[in-house]
A and B are shown apart, each in its own frame.
Chain A
């Protein structure tokens, strides 16, 4: 099965492992991720104001391009996925926005949210199936106690993202279980890491992240995994001491395709 793939700017620079292992693992699992021919930065945050049109356009271009290719659009970065999915759903629901966006971009075929945007975790859960993932695991991560970190972007707003239960999610735990490790559920797994505030007030971001790492450590986790480069950065900087890794690194390790493994 072939999918369109939107890596996002951070995955081309600071988060290369997230990108590389996402692609390698997909191949190992029989899915082909084909990078969109031309893509721009999604804008990193979804604009909450109704009257922001221009800041939504690059996401629309990516979605439109996936529609034109006739494939489902897969994204692994939580932030990019949040922007793409929210933009897509807004275009489906809001006729006024749809009109303005189409007037601005003037595409050959007007865009009305026809593309299907999914997160890499949804690819694993709904397209490939965690059962299948489990079968392909070569090095089960036996005995490893791993805490999945959702943050805010994967789950909220739940009515739009519709990826999992916003308060009692389980997709990361099921993922970790499929890799043969032991998932550690902890209270703050869906609280915010501090996000972009790290540039405005590093202390505030560190405080937020520290509480999360503490909560995971108290629950007995050895490692935290995330799908978001900014979450990883904030959690690592929190001086909490737990290693933080990308979900795809862990996946590749379990599949036996990680370099140096």
Chain B
């Protein structure tokens, strides 16, 4: 038990769309499929509601990984929201890489309301990958510097 006290616990923020992925997370729960407690879910109506600023904010505040989950392409409750999310994140992830955040700390995944097992699998996998990378360096906010 001693060893576990100092074990690195990553902080992971998961943005889940209300219609597919949040429901998928609920299904993972009602199917009792576990994934690390390090993952904390924020409910948004659609993956396209995820403003890149939210992700930057998370990294500023010490998140070790951020994952955005939406409906599968073609299945978006709002028809096209997940396509916007995908394109925005592609651009953002390149920027993050430029800022020195490992590409593996961010991810976009499609999880439907029927895919409880996939949700758990994705979260286990992602949490494992982030854990392996170790603690992230907080992004600085220049406006806060003297």
Are chains A and B touching in the complex at the 8 Å CB cutoff?
A: no
Contacts from A to B (Cβ < 8 Å): none
